[in-house]
């Protein structure tokens, strides 16, 4: 379908149409599949953001106005479809800001494909709003920045062209994380509100069509010695071995007033999905919700002291033993594993004095062989590539980068669920210092999955053109879905 008018072409994208440009076969291939990622389009904390299902990789990310977009890649036909607007975010602003501090960035989507092929996307909230009612597990965010956690399902299996809202999750969620078990059971984990809120899960036994009420896992509460500081958490949940789910998490002393970005310590626990009970690495049963006192006593991996650390990811080996990494100040990754009797390390993946800005995910091939796919930065140079260990994390070998650029870094999400070597992870790259639109890249073992430039590019050009024409026409207003919002507060979490 050839669309000559820029506004009409933009409308096709933003209103859910899949545009296939006639002359795409004759255009050059580029490394990115679209250029309308926005702000921080994906991260490891909202995950998975992609899944391989029956020959196609489906991907969700944050696009213009912080809305959720979806693309799909058919590996056999080597054919892309999308981007398609799946859902509109209440936190977006129009025109899109050019300063990232004005973008909330917490409403990024998590995605899964159920057993019947229907695609699920959960997105759109940073704690919710008091207008949505009372939050029984914590404090909702202020109006209007809190948004609303929204669950979308594709109207047809294996089809990204049309979507419907399924109103079965709490509106107060932040950092949604899907975990789908082998029997089809679905767990949706998230923080139930803003900073001072519990982490919870909702469980579905019918492929996400209905969810049970939230169950609290990690407890927020005022500290006994200082009620202005609350125990709070950042957690990462993933499928373990067999019928288990792992949780790796860090502690956040949330002060008000005087809020800081302090994050400390590393913790681990595990869920038995047979009865939804939790235990620590030694097999001791835990009482839910886990408090700071209980976490320190029973689930602590290591105490960081005055050093600040942030969440990473957790994967298990064939024996079910967890391997974790956490990010320290300056973004450097430190790794630890459970040997069956003790936690190792933590050991730095980068050598002393190496570059920072690391984030990513890992593949555990054995108890001692691990591959990490990480971003890194050194001055004005950014890279994405593998770091490998064969001795249980004592030493790490850097491989030649898969992506490298001067003048900016990369953003990265968690590994695509059920990934194939051709498409393993979504990476974002800035296009210009003049705006926050990003090129979105599906990266595999041999580099990016390419797309004809006529399909991947020019979306941002149309957006910028509309923004510069000043005041918007009525048709453009419908396309851009004008929304107003306050400037992002300085104390909000980093992404």
311-to-242, 247, 352 alpha-carbon distances in Å: 24, 11, 21
Helices then strands, counting H and E runs in the chain, come out as 5, 35
As a whole number, mean pLDDT of residues 2-19 equals: 35
Compute the C-alpha angle 481/484/486, nearest 5°: 150
CB 382 within 8 A of CB 405: yes
The mean pLDDT of the chain is: 87
Do the beta carbons of residue 359 and residue 409 sit within 8 Å? no
Q: How far apart are CA 302 and CA 300, in angstroms?
A: 6
Residues with Cβ < 8 Å from 283, sequence gap 6 or more?
none
217 neighbors 294 (Cβ within 8 angstroms):
no
Dist. CA 350–CA 330, nearest whole Å:
11
Q: Is the pLDDT of residue 354 over 70?
A: no
pTM of the model: 0.90
Catalytic residue status for 175: yes
The single residue of 47, 65, 106, 126 carrying the catalytic annotation is 106
Active-site residue, from 32, 123, 175, 251: 175
CA atoms within a 13 Å half-sphere pointing along the CA-CB vector of 63: 27
Q: Of 82-86, 254-258, 458-462, which one has max mean pLDDT?
A: 82-86
Of 64-78, 137-151, 418-432, where does mean pLDDT reach its minimum? 137-151
Q: In what order do the strands lie in the sheet with 119-125?
A: 110-113, 119-125, 147-154, 163-165
**Cis amide leading into 95 (omega within 30):** yes
pLDDT of 492 over the 80 cut: no
Cα 60 from Cα 72, distance rounded (Å): 9
Over the Cα atoms of the chain, what is R_g? 22
> Which residues, at least 6 apart from 227, have a Cβ–Cβ distance to it below 8 Å?
none
DSSP string, 46-101: SB--EEEETTEEEEEEE-GGG-EEEEEEETTTTEEEEEEEEE--TT--SSPPSSGG
- Looking up tokens 């899907």 gives 178
Taken as a whole, the chain contains a residue count of 495
What is the band of 24 on the pLDDT scale with cuts at 50, 70, 90?
A: very low
Task: Report the C-alpha gap between 245 and 320 in whole angstroms.
Answer: 10
What confidence category does residue 143 fall into, taking pLDDT thresholds of 50, 70 and 90? Answer: low
Establish whether 187 is a catalytic residue.
no
Rounded Cα–Cα distance for residues 247 and 301 (Å): 12
Lowest mean pLDDT among 60-74, 127-141, 246-260: 127-141
In 10 A of CB 348, how many CB atoms?
16
SS3 128: coil
For 180-200, what is the mean pLDDT? 95
Instruction: Set out the domains of the chain in order of their start, with CATH numbers.
Output: 6-480 (2.130.10.120)
Under a CB-based contact definition with an 8 Å cutoff, are residues 206 and 278 in contact?
no
**Per-residue pLDDT tens over the stretch 399-408:** 999 999 998 8
The model's confidence at residue 393, banded by pLDDT at 50, 70 and 90, is very high
- Alpha carbon separation from 470 to 65, 192, 242, 465, 484 (Å, rounded): 17, 40, 57, 9, 17
Contact 370, 399 (CB under 8 A): no
């Amino acid at each position: 379908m050839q669309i000559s008018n820029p506004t009409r072409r933009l409308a096709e994208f933003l209103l859910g149409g899949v545009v296939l440009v006639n002359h795409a076969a004759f255009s050059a291939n580029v490394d990115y599949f679209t250029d309308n990622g926005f702000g921080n389009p994906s991260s490891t904390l909202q995950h998975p953001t992609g899944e391989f299902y029956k020959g196609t990789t489906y991907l969700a990310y944050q696009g213009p106005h912080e809305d959720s977009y979806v693309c799909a890649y058919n590996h056999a036909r080597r054919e892309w479809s999308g981007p398609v607007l799946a859902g509109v975010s209440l936190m977006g602003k129009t025109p899109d800001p050019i300063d990232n501090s004005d973008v909330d960035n917490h409403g990024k989507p998590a995605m899964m494909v159920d057993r019947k092929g229907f695609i699920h996307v959960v997105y759109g909230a940073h704690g919710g709003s008091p207008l949505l009612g009372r939050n029984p597990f914590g404090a909702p965010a202020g109006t209007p920045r809190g948004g609303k956690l929204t669950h979308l399902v594709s109207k047809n299996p294996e089809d990204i062209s049309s979507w419907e809202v399924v109103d079965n999750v709490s509106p107060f969620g932040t950092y949604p994380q899907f975990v789908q078990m082998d029997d089809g059971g679905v767990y949706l984990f998230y923080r139930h509100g803003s900073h001072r809120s519990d982490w919870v899960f909702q469980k579905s036994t019918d492929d996400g069509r209905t969810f049970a009420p939230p169950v609290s896992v990690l407890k927020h509460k005022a500290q006994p010695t200082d009620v202005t500081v609350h125990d709070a958490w950042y957690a990462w949940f993933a499928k373990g071995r067999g019928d288990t789910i792992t949780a790796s998490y860090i502690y956040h002393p949330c002060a008000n007033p005087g809020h800081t970005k302090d994050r400390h310590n590393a913790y681990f626990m595990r869920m038995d999905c047979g009865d939804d009970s939790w235990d620590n690495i030694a097999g001791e049963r835990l009482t839910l919700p886990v408090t700071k006192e209980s976490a320190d006593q029973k689930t602590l991996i290591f105490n960081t002291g005055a050093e600040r650390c942030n969440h990473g990811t957790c994967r298990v080996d064939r024996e079910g033993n967890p391997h974790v990494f956490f990010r320290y100040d300056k973004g450097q990754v430190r790794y630890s594993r459970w040997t069956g009797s003790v936690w190792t390390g933590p050991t730095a993946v980068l050598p002393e004095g190496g570059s920072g800005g690391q984030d990513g995910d890992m593949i555990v091939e054995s108890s001692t062989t691990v591959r990490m796919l990480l971003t890194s930065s050194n001055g004005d140079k950014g890279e994405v590539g593998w770091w490998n260990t064969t001795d249980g994390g004592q030493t790490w070998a850097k491989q030649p980068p898969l992506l490298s650029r001067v003048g900016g870094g990369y953003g990265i999400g968690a590994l695509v669920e059920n990934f194939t070597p051709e498409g393993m992870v979504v990476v974002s790259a800035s296009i210009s210092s003049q705006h926050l639109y990003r090129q979105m890249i599906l990266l595999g073992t041999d580099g990016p999955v390419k797309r004809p430039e006529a399909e991947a590019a020019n979306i941002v050009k149309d957006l910028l053109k509309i923004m510069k024409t000043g005041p918007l026409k009525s048709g453009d207003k419908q396309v851009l879905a004008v929304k107003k919002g306050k400037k992002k507060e300085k104390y909000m979490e980093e992404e």
